[in-house]
Amino acid sequence: MGKERSIWWKVPGILIWMAAAGLAAVNFTSSAGLAAALTGVLAAFFLADRLGAMPVRLPRLWLVALGGLVATVLASSIARGSEAAARLFGSPGVYAITESALWLVLPLALLTPLLVSATRYSTFLSIEAALLVGIFAGVFAAHREGSLHRPYFITDWLLERNYDPLPFFLAIGAALGVMLVVWLLSRRSAKQTLLDPLILMAMIVALFLFLPDGKIRQLNAWAASGSGDEKKKSEQQKGGGGGKGGQKEKGGKQENSGQNQDPDPSNGSGGKSFPVAVVNLHDDYNPPYGTFYFRQDALSTWNGKRLVRDASQKLDTDIGVPFPAEMIEVPMRDRADTEKQPNGKRLAHRMKTTVALMTPHSKPFALIDAAKYEPAPNPDPKRFERAYKTESIVLDTDFADLLQRNVGSEKWTPEVWQHYTQVPSDPRYSKIAEEARNLLPPHLRGTVLAQALAIKFWLDKNTTYDLGVTRPDDDSDPVAGFLFGERRGYCVHLAHSAAYLFRTVGLPSRVSVGYAVDARQRGSGSAVLIRNGDAHAWPEIYVKGLGWVVLDITPEKVATPPQQDKADPELQRMLGEMARQTPGLPKEENPPAGDGDVRKAFLETLQALGKLAAPLLIITLLAMYLMKLWRRLEPRFCEEDRLPVSAYRATLDSLADLGMRRGYGASREQFAEAVAFRAPEFAELTQLHLKHALGAGIAPRTRAAYLELTRATSRKAAAGVPWWRRLAGALHPLSWWKVS
């Protein structure tokens, strides 16, 4: 019965650690790595249960575990850079194997000694609890600080179905908190009553069930508002013709409108701008907009309250592409013509780029319109998260040259037309659209794209760029509070307002999100530096024969001061050069492996191992010396009831440095007699240790008394030993290894 109960009480701990490992791994590894992390947690609990019943020395256990982790990391690094491994298993295979190995060993190496240590010392229980809290807090901290779209793997699913993430997170926090309390209390004492955690659970459930809807809305508004300092940060650039007019926010404040548009976790800097990616252009290109637009996501589905992503994934086929493991062709119904027109002009041309990410991103982005994604080797793993190549079809003409074209596609069904033109039923949108249309000369009022341009100019003239606005209380239509109120807002308000007005006059439109970078920041180089403050949302119209075309809004009035910290040209150039340092050839360019190639790759692998040998040796020696030092100093800091053990072990270590070790088969008493002719104090220390180990009563002694016995034994034993022998023992990093 007792054994069954102990196994039962391990279930909450296993579930909690599996949840923590899954949350920690899901944004950083593949599905194979995630499965390996969960398997590592199960293996850690199984191994800790076996080791807990054995007389395992904790320092050795920690040393072996951390050494195994370091060895796995080094082996994975070598394998990923090895051409031989790539030829044998293929680049995707090497990545899958190394990711699985890393995420299997990581929880196994850290959790196993932690669980074993927690069964012997209560201090490790607190360390374990703090580690769990840190993992969960790290995953959900961004949401708490105002990034309502994070973590993506949860909120994307909820927001696409029009669910509020906040109550869901409250429920998760309540469940995890209760499980953590129950588990920790049960481990501290098997007789601990369940009354306290049950009362805590009842209080949390009552709070969650009976919290008024208004309070939840207040919590949402508070989380979305963020800190006042962040709102003061912005960027504004005056321009026309669809150029980016500074509708960007620093610190990820796009999410204030509740539109689910913030492009990536790299946004959200607490007001500090920093690089998130560098893009190398393979050809010279100056966009007609005056801005490089890098699309990452799009919002096109009207769910009755706001625009959200297309959950069916059948319409916006040009977005949602995963990071490429092989070449991916992006499906689109229409693409801009790259051939010269009868007037000698060219509408568009193909542009290749290489993107190197410096921060984790949930999905790739590309210069619009992306046609292909290809994998690329990471030029510098210490600097960049990953790299990939893109091929885009970029416009060579601005929106004014497209006014005679129509919108939509002949291939669209009535359902597709309805999807991209569905709009709120509020008649005020039609009133504004008609007011904008009347600004056109009579001969242009029947031109559909001229109506779009009129709406853009109307918004430019009648809106104010302002980061200091708050989210409206009216949850039915987040844009209405902006457009029919003071018309003060930022890129999210402007982009959604434009999309709604475009749809009102029958123009298929959507809102895209990603990054927008002023083309002048590129200078004369080929690199475009993207910072977190370049996160942006903009409206797009589907032009017949061209696809989605940007028609951005640039307010003439600006209430927020312009951003002062521009991109550093030297940093941009340096990162661009680093991103061009491609280590080796891509997989498709490698010739078939022959015997000579395999031998060469094997020698190169040995060479790489040789380069790592020195740092690995230094790290290993440092770890050994630190362990040796800790064993000597432990009697000064350990708990009182452990003094007989730690003092005896520290003395044995000092004797081992002098070449005195207990022989195989000799008892501790026999070894004490052998040392007693030099240091009689060692016999007394041995007796104290044996009585403590056997549970016999011993007279209480102070820490100073134990330390004096240790010093006296070491001093007298060393009296007859040559200086060179004492020095050799002191420098020996593993003199303590076989001490018992």
Phi/psi at 46 (nearest 5 deg)?
-65, -45
Residues 533 and 617 in one domain: no
Nearest to 552 by CA among 322, 287, 342: 287
Same domain for 613 and 712, yes or no, is yes
pLDDT, mean of residues 387-414? 88
What integer is the mean pLDDT of 481-509? 91
Highest mean pLDDT among 131-135, 248-252, 441-445: 441-445
* One domain, residues 246 and 343: yes
Position 115 scores a pLDDT of 86
Q: State the Cα–Cα distance between residues 106 and 125, nearest whole angstrom.
A: 19
* Residue 429 and residue 494 in one domain: yes
Whether the Cβ atoms of residue 710 and residue 689 lie closer than 8 Å to each other: no
Residue 611 and residue 656 in one domain: yes
Label residue 475 by pLDDT band (50, 70, 90). Answer: low
pLDDT of residue 515: 94
Of the listed ranges 193-197, 297-301, 705-709, the least confidently predicted one is 193-197
Residue 438 domain flag? yes
Q: What is the pLDDT of residues 676-688, one digit of tens each?
A: 888 888 988 888 8
Q: Are residues 575 and 603 in the same domain?
A: no
* Residue 387 half-sphere exposure toward CB, CA atoms < 13 A: 26
497 and 399, same structural domain?
A: yes
Number of separate domains in the chain: 2
Segments forming the whole domain that contains residue 650: 598-731
Whether a cis peptide bond, with omega within 30° of 0, leads into 635 is no
665 DSSP assignment: T
Backbone angles phi, psi at 285, to 5 degrees: -155, 130
End of a domain among 551, 580, 609?
580
If we measure between CA atoms, which residue out of 565, 460, 559, 465 comes closest to residue 521?
565
| For residue 456, pLDDT beyond 90 | yes
Closest to 379 in 3D by CA, of 357, 396, 350, 406: 357
Asked whether the predicted pLDDT for residue 234 surpasses 80, the reply is no
208 lies in a domain? no
Question: pLDDT (tens digit, 9 = 90+) per residue, 16-34?
Answer: 788 888 877 876 777 788 8
- Say if 590 falls within a structural domain: no
**32 part of a folded domain:** no
**Which of the two residues, 31 and 726, has the higher pLDDT score?**
726
Same domain, 388 and 505: yes
Average pLDDT over residues 82-110: 84
Is residue 498 within 8 A of residue 593, CB to CB? The reply is no
Same domain assignment for residues 473 and 610: no
Q: Does a structural domain hold residue 209?
A: no
Cα 728 from chain centroid (whole Å): 48
Share of the chain above pLDDT 70, in %: 71
Dig out the tokens for 293 from the structure. Answer: 């637009």
Residues in a beta bridge with 516: 293
- By mean pLDDT, which of 443-452, 660-669, 690-699 is the weakest? 690-699
- pLDDT of 242-290, one tens digit each? 334 433 333 333 333 333 344 333 344 445 567 889 999 998 888 988 8
Q: Is residue 46 part of a domain?
A: no
Position 637 scores a pLDDT of 84
Residue 372: the pLDDT is 92
What secondary structure does DSSP assign to 382-437, as a single string? TT-SEEEEEEEEEESS-GGGGTT--BS-TT--HHHHHHHH-----HHHHHHHHHHH
Same domain flag for 250 and 330: yes
155 in any annotated domain: no
Residue 374 lies in a domain: yes
